[in-house]
Structure 1
């Protein structure tokens, strides 16, 4: 897991990168929770999702948004952070130019950024969104959503109630053949404290089912 410094739009971006396996590994980009709420690339959820994709042979990158850790700049209400994510994806693609597809995975604020990114980047073939902050940010940009993915939310989330996530995400339109799967983890809060193993299992189970389909689809493109 080499440390990397990526030239970003607000200065350097601090990251951790794991090269993929084989000659043409897919790419995974991991996005952490809110920078002003203690989010950083070493959060337990970020580490867990990073390891999931790394162990599956993905070229995997997690990084700190601007103003976090050794990343330069200051918090920018999501606009700059989206630019950071796009820059990080560009960076990992320079080292994996033959990647068949990319995935984004994010927690809370990172989920919001990741879902915006997939709307702008057709190479993103799937997403994992943990506790998307549907009561804090506008998600109407998903019109229609171009990639299938998994949303996992805690039933006891007091920051973003599960009912609010269901209300917003149930109305999201998707392109033909796209499936946005929503799952509720009983007893889990916004940060999934004491429920990280259950969250990991849900993500692993979903990827076991979904990735073979994505590989087949991209092989025939």
Structure 2
């Protein structure tokens, strides 16, 4: 857990979810979502932590949390439906803390959840998707409004997020979307790719958020 990051709990309906909150002095905030709950995805995933670190370095407040049924979060897996409610509740928690959620950042399953949130919370101006698993989950029909900047990061050795499929689907999500390819990286960012991902995130993200 990053320095000054604290464990928090917040409610979604009757469920209580576990999160890690880092509060910055500025107004901007991001919610970060983790990989698939049924395959070991959780808030301490290394890519999720790298996303949190990148945003924190830019002065954003961050909230990474466990979806329902993961870690100390109550409930059980809900095939994406309840998980999108979890995401909305996380954004509302930051809003109640006086922060404006400008960014939603997600890795793998988390990217699918974020992209499918229709509409995104008021104030969101950017979606950052890392390795959206287009070969594994259904992304058809997902559309990002033009007011929200869409940025996608994927490795060129990712069998879950193959570049040919991503390049085909990306304009359907949003014609202005940007794709950033990490050479030699697989879906899990093994073999030193995680450090290179962190470097890419430093150059890709800006503060404040914007197209």
TM-score scaled to structure 1, two decimals? 0.85
What per-residue deviation string (whole Å, max 9, x for no partner) do you get for residues 26-48 of structure 1? 01100001111111000000111
Give 3-state SS (helix, strand or coil) of 1:4's partner. Answer: strand
Give 3-state SS (helix, strand or coil) of 2:69's partner. Answer: coil
> Any unmatched runs of 5+ in structure 2?
none
**Cα distance, 1:206–1:118 mapped onto 2, change above 3 Å:** farther
Q: Is the 8 A contact 1:151 1:180 kept in 2?
A: yes
Match of 1:35 among 31, 34, 37: 37
TM-superposed CA distance for 1:144, in Å, is 4.3
Q: Is the 8 A contact 1:119 1:146 kept in 2?
A: no
Give 3-state SS (helix, strand or coil) of 1:33's partner. Answer: coil
**Residues of 1 paired with 2:63 and 2:118: CA distance?**
16
Give 3-state SS (helix, strand or coil) of 2:79's partner. Answer: coil
**Cα distance, 1:127–1:173 mapped onto 2, change above 3 Å:** closer
TM-superposed CA distance for 1:172, in Å, is 3.0
What per-residue deviation string (whole Å, max 9, x for no partner) do you get for residues 75-115 of structure 1? 00000000000001101110115x3x510110011011112
Does residue 67 of structure 1 match 2:69?
yes
Please tell me the root mean square deviation across aligned C-alpha atoms, in Å: 1.9
Residue matched to 1:127: 127
> Any unmatched runs of 5+ in structure 1?
none
* Structure with more helix by fraction: 1
1:11-90 matches, within 5 Å, as 11-22=15-26, 25-90=27-92
**Residues of 1 paired with 2:15 and 2:110: CA distance?**
20
TM-superposed CA distance for 1:171, in Å, is 3.2
What per-residue deviation string (whole Å, max 9, x for no partner) do you get for residues 182-221 of structure 1? 012111111112201111122211114xx3573xx9xxxx
Residue matched to 1:141: 142
Q: Is the 8 A contact 1:14 1:64 kept in 2?
A: yes
**Residues of 1 paired with 2:145 and 2:56: CA distance?**
29
My pick for the range that moved more, 62-71 or 156-165, is 156-165
Does residue 180 of structure 1 match 2:177?
yes
Residue matched to 1:168: 169
**Residues of 2 paired with 1:3 and 1:212: CA distance?**
25
Does residue 203 of structure 1 match 2:201?
yes
